[in-house]
Structure 1
Amino acid sequence: MSQLNTSFKGKNVFISGASRGIGLGIALALARDGAKIAIAAKTVTPNPKLPGTIFTAAEEINKAGGRGLPIECDIRSEESVQKAVEKTIQEFGGIDIVINNASAISLSTTQDTSLKKYDLMNTVNARGTWLVSKICLPYLLKSAEQLRNPHILTLSPPLENTITDVKWWKHTTPYSMAKFGMSLVTLGLSGELEGFVGANALWPLTKIQTAALQIFGDSHNSRDVSIMADVAYEMLKKDGRTYTGQFEIDELFLRREKGITDFSGYVFQVDPKNPRPLADEDLDPDFFIADTARDEVKRLRAGRSKL
């Protein structure tokens, strides 16, 4: 019987919105093992507020040991996604991993959200995740036939004990609709593709320091993107035929799967030469973490002294 290929060397990855931040961090983690990565994103010219383009991302991937393929793509457009996938197939010959990272955000109530912003969030987040996954499906199923361990990984929040909690809706209904929509796509695909393609989601316990976070009010009490990259790396190594429908939270995953108890190395350092000794409980929590998950984290952290 042929053995499942869980190595990333030579694997073909299609990732949306990876010009910077968490998406790029995950891409680099896979590139270090020799993965080929198509960066499908809109950013082709530098933005003073949001550094990084598909071309600079590809350069970083190449330097890390992988092969970067920059593709200008707007995941709101079926034609654009179709062309991006076709170019990936032409260059790489297949797709083994899809990472739905692209997302739009506006933290506002229904009354304060314009239809333009609503449409942007829902066409990029929920609809874009579904569209990218749908167009990549034939190639993922072919990857399954070849025992190349295909996966769909979506950066979206857990559903259990969270989606029905009104506190995540009463201030940001439009954004919550769009973000939880990504998770519902993940849930649905995990059922549709069970036994063939793993469909899972990943979400941070704490805020992650990205350029976008800085725009919304720089939070220094956050973690580096490397924690999300490390978790994604481990999730994508698992057997997608059986590991599917999971909504992982970064710290809980690393505690359970890797036995990690010291997360001080993941703290974002404003000045790396003068690291700040922050305790885990000093970090700002992210959105969409259920009280049950928070209680579990507190229990696991019990007995640890501050750094």
Structure 2
Amino acid sequence: MPSQNALTDRTLVISGGSRGIGLAIATAAAKYGANVVLLAKTGEPHPRLQGTVHTAVEGIQAAGGKAVAVVGDVRKEEDARRAVAVAVENFGGVDICVNNASAIALESTENLPAKKYDLMQEINSRGTFLLTQAALPHLRESENAHILTIAPPVNMNPYWLGAHPAYTLSKYGMSLLTLGFAAEFADAGIAANCLWPQTYIATAAVANMADGDSLLSSSRSPEIMADAAVEIFSQPSTKTTGNCFIDADVLIESGITDLSVYGGGDNPQLDLFLD
């Protein structure tokens, strides 16, 4: 893993950072010295979801990190720009933009309400575009700028195309945007990569599935994604861009071969979009 001060004085803005993978990435980055700005909708306690953006910040600060909460909706241009403005006001810029916020609905085409379709496209693809766009002027000024999107490799296996086309479209939209950013901003030295878990991750999204209890027991902890993200952030942006990384592969390549510390049992459940 990187040195303990690998992210010192670097500022990270992340969407959907109040729980799960987003909070794990934010917390890990803060432990390595980063300043963190969390943009999330949950400003007040939710009956079915643990924590708020404020409790997330409190937890990071209690661990010795620096963090600021922004209550907002990544689908709204003004909220994305406000999160970046808060980062600039409090910490002087933005070095890392993490597109984590995502909505999931796995109903078939016949059964998926149009409202859910719109929600997925707006949070997943539109949100990725808006937060990245807002951060770009400041990423251009960073010495080691990274865009990281929690999105899968674009797997054109007909199974994944047909399993849940609307959700697949929204996630592949995030991936394609990010790979596009890598090409578009290569000359500016801004890295853009995707990161996807090899296995299910123990989050509220998994817990709320029909067989959530059994899936949780075969899911790894969010910390595996966090550790992989920190490893990516620590690499030179000019040499680490245009990739669709898998968390386990990133850690194994960095020298961490025992992934049992992240849980999931002997046969963790392989994640969506991976054959």
Give the deviation of 1:48 after TM superposition. Answer: 2.8
Kept in 1, the 8 Å contact 2:18–2:38? The answer is yes
Q: TM-score under structure 1 normalisation?
A: 0.84
Partner amino acid, structure 1, of 2:146 = H
Deviations 1:153-178, CA, capped at 9 Å, x for gaps: 0000012xx1x211112120100000
> Which residue, 242, 248, 267 being the options, matches 1:251?
248
Deviations 1:246-275, CA, capped at 9 Å, x for gaps: 1111112222232x332211105xxxxxxx
Q: 2:161 aligned with 1:155, yes or no?
A: no
Partner amino acid, structure 2, of 1:264 = S
Structure 1 match to 2:172: 180
CA distance in 2 between partners of 1:48 and 1:189 (Å): 37
Taking only the aligned residue pairs, the percentage that are identical comes to 43
Structure 2 match to 1:303: none
CA distance in 2 between partners of 1:95 and 1:256 (Å): 27
Kept in 2, the 8 Å contact 1:49–1:215? The answer is no
Partner amino acid, structure 1, of 2:93 = G
Deviations 1:191-224, CA, capped at 9 Å, x for gaps: 0111411100100111000122101123111101
Partner amino acid, structure 2, of 1:232 = A
CA distance in 1 between partners of 2:157 and 2:68 (Å): 40
> Which residue, 248, 255, 270 being the options, matches 1:285?
270
Q: CA RMSD in A?
A: 1.3
Partner amino acid, structure 1, of 2:30 = A
Kept in 2, the 8 Å contact 1:50–1:212? The answer is no
CA distance in 2 between partners of 1:127 and 1:233 (Å): 25
Kept in 2, the 8 Å contact 1:33–1:65? The answer is no
Q: 2:178 aligned with 1:193, yes or no?
A: no
Give the deviation of 1:136 after TM superposition. Answer: 0.7
Give the deviation of 1:7 after TM superposition. Answer: 2.8
Kept in 1, the 8 Å contact 2:182–2:241? The answer is yes
Q: 2:206 aligned with 1:221, yes or no?
A: no
Partner amino acid, structure 1, of 2:207 = Q
Partner amino acid, structure 2, of 1:72 = V
Structure 1 spans left out of the alignment, 5+ residues: 1-5, 269-277, 292-307
Structure 1 match to 2:261: 265
CA distance in 2 between partners of 1:117 and 1:80 (Å): 21
CA distance in 2 between partners of 1:253 and 1:91 (Å): 31
Matches within 5 A, 1:25-36: 25-36=24-35
Q: TM-score under structure 2 normalisation?
A: 0.94
Structure 2 match to 1:77: 76
CA distance in 2 between partners of 1:54 and 1:128 (Å): 17
Kept in 2, the 8 Å contact 1:194–1:242? The answer is no
- Closer, same or farther in 2 for the Cα pair 1:187/1:222, shift >3 Å? same
CA distance in 2 between partners of 1:93 and 1:213 (Å): 37
Structure 2 spans left out of the alignment, 5+ residues: none
Give the deviation of 1:66 after TM superposition. Answer: 1.5
Kept in 2, the 8 Å contact 1:140–1:197? The answer is yes
> Which residue, 224, 227, 230 being the options, matches 1:230?
227
Partner amino acid, structure 2, of 1:75 = V
Structure 2 match to 1:170: 162
CA distance in 2 between partners of 1:68 and 1:194 (Å): 29
Give the deviation of 1:45 after TM superposition. Answer: 0.8
Q: Name segments (4+ residues, structure 1) moved above 2 Å.
A: none
Give the deviation of 1:111 after TM superposition. Answer: 1.0
CA distance in 2 between partners of 1:118 and 1:111 (Å): 12
Give the deviation of 1:22 after TM superposition. Answer: 0.5
Instruction: Report the count of equivalent residues.
Output: 266
Deviations 1:126-169, CA, capped at 9 Å, x for gaps: 111011101110000011xxx2x11000000012xx1x211112
Kept in 1, the 8 Å contact 2:231–2:250? The answer is no
Kept in 1, the 8 Å contact 2:160–2:168? The answer is yes
